Chain A
């Protein structure tokens, strides 16, 4: 009887068995990575906008308070995008002829909305309410990142459920005094752990059991 296989096939055979296991592991890991990756979440990708609005300039440079434009953030679940009127408050005076701002003026003239591209877009089965987070001392920066350094706005966090849970399980690690919610680059005056715990008590922030109940965010 003659050999069917060459000598080398022995090693090859063994390698394939363990290789198979290895490849399986690799694939699943890659998928998990992909899911959180910037590609899937669109995090850290600056978006093209009809008007190249720069938070870096307005919030950072000019130091406008977030609430000057996003007026409803404290009262409503939805932090509104400012109406064209708000832009025109200043831009009827400054840069009133800049071609860059033509879309804004056009919108004001023709009374048609500016078609902004949505940057932070949660799935429709998630009900995030800005006002309550603000009133419980969750800073804008905590979720939106250093907006004051974004020439074009991008989404800072992954906005995946796991990410939300971090804070809903341990609010004390993230909350800050109410008066500082809109502050960018906030540094806790002292030990966050201890300040946080104190604020959680002060603001009557619910316990993790309540904050991680499904219906807190899903309806």
Chain B
């Protein structure tokens, strides 16, 4: 295993995890976060903020249900704005988790072992946030089930399988389900650990039930490994498909600025881009607060930063190409759409997004920037902002000025647009900190495999 050698050759910065750990100590350090009684101020503070944002969210939803989507700034022709922007943004963020847990597993990148757990959790919560918007933005949310085919029905009408929105429904729900299963299967051994280490009976019971009686049997381990490989194999095309399907929402439409053939790769890259930004935003404070620098090392941050950079470049390329093609196509509407984007009422937003997504991230080429955690943290935030603006621009600026100038009109966000958006951030953080509190945020058993002690010396022969 390549990483093994690296551990030996250089155990300062390149190490996957710092030296000196034993099976026991990693177990205790990670499990203690969950099993301890009191939490650090950091946790309490963040949880408090998240919770108040969550309340704001609920408030906004109640109003939405009572009055209708009119409380948002949407209008003819900008019928979609914040809701769909948030949807695409959250879904995109989700991608990093699956990518780390699935693709890196297949590529046998062992360094993933100490970050995949919370990255997957992040995926789940991001998908949860994303999944709400397609329902919330409906004019009549209580009829959401009409988007699913169901028998028997007294209406006799089924969804329109030609509509990308229906594809979305399938893609997102599949994505959510598969991620959840994958995550849970991965959790079972650690749940076993917690069960065995829980102090009180209730704890033992709960973790016992959740671990389904995992006992680390070799037979189980071998099937377990097959299962995770298979799930990884399934999740990999899935994660690529999800944002592809999301991008169909736009490419299938005839709107200038939407109707484009290369959205899928462009969107997937963007998704991973924002995903890794979110991973860093979460990882950097966590390792500090819970003293996990030994497990989530410089190396992890560095690799994530590199991935960010790589996908960032792809996104940059996409921006350039779509603008070029708009010009090259000679299509009146496309050209106008991009001209408006760059010089029209949304110009500021557009150029801010270019700065956040293309210009500033170039700094990541420098090792010094990548190794400077505070800067890396801020840069990741910038990328998150940038990616949100990207979706906003694609959706709103294309809608605001399309074919017939007579109907053009500019979107203006209302306070309820903002409340809903910030609200989901609250929900996300809320769930994430619950997760930290109740489940091991790092995969214990996978970290054990990284320890030198885990290596089986072959010389002994019975």
- Direct A/B contact, Cβ within 8 angstroms: yes
What residues make up the interface of A, taking CB atoms closer than 8 Å to B?
A: 1, 4-5, 10, 13, 28, 32, 35-36, 158, 160-162, 165
The answer to whether the Cβ of B344 comes within 8 Å of any Cβ in the partner chain is no
Answer yes or no: B462 CB below 8 A from chain A CBs: no
**Chain A residues with Cβ under 8 A from B208's Cβ?**
4-5
Determine if B152 and A32 form an interchain contact, defined as CB atoms under 8 angstroms apart.
Answer: yes
A4 pairs with B205, CB closer than 8 A: yes
Interface residues as binary, B155-171 with A (CB distance below 8 Å gives 1, 0 otherwise)? 11100000000000000
Interface size on B, residues (CB 8 A): 17
Q: Of residues 124 to 167 in B, which have CB atoms within 8 Å of A's CB atoms?
A: 150-157
Contact residue among B151, B152, B156, B195 (Cβ-Cβ distance under 8 Å from A161): B156
Interface SS of chain B: helix, strand, loop or mixed? Answer: loop
Beta-carbon contacts under 8 Å, B205-237 to A: 205, 208-209, 212-213
Count of chain A to chain B residue pairs whose CB atoms are closer than 8 Å in the complex: 33
Pairwise interchain contact A161-B204, C-beta atoms closer than 8 A: no
User: Is the CB–CB distance between B156 and A162 below 8 Å?
Assistant: yes
Q: A1-B196, A4-B195, A13-B212 are in contact. Are A161 and B205 (CB under 8 A)?
A: no
Docked Cα-Cα span, A160 to B209, in Å, equals: 46
Residues of B within 8 A of A35 (CB): 154
Complex Cα spacing A28 to B148, Å: 13
Shortest CB-to-CB span from B402 to chain A, Å, is 27
Between A and B, 10 residue pairs with Cβ closer than 8 Å are A4-B205, A10-B213, A13-B209, A32-B151, A158-B154, A160-B154, A160-B155, A161-B154, A162-B153, A165-B156
14 further interface pairs, Cβ-Cβ under 8 Å (given A32-B151, A165-B156): A1-B196, A4-B201, A4-B205, A10-B213, A28-B150, A32-B150, A32-B154, A35-B154, A36-B154, A160-B155, A161-B154, A161-B156, A162-B154, A162-B156
CB distance from B284 to the nearest CB of A (A): 38
Q: Which residue of B lies closest to A165 (CB)?
A: B156
C-alpha gap A32/B196 in the complex (Å): 45
- Distance A43 CA – B153 CA, assembled complex (angstroms): 17
Most buried by B among A1, A4, A28: A4
CB of A167, distance to nearest CB on chain B (Å)? 12
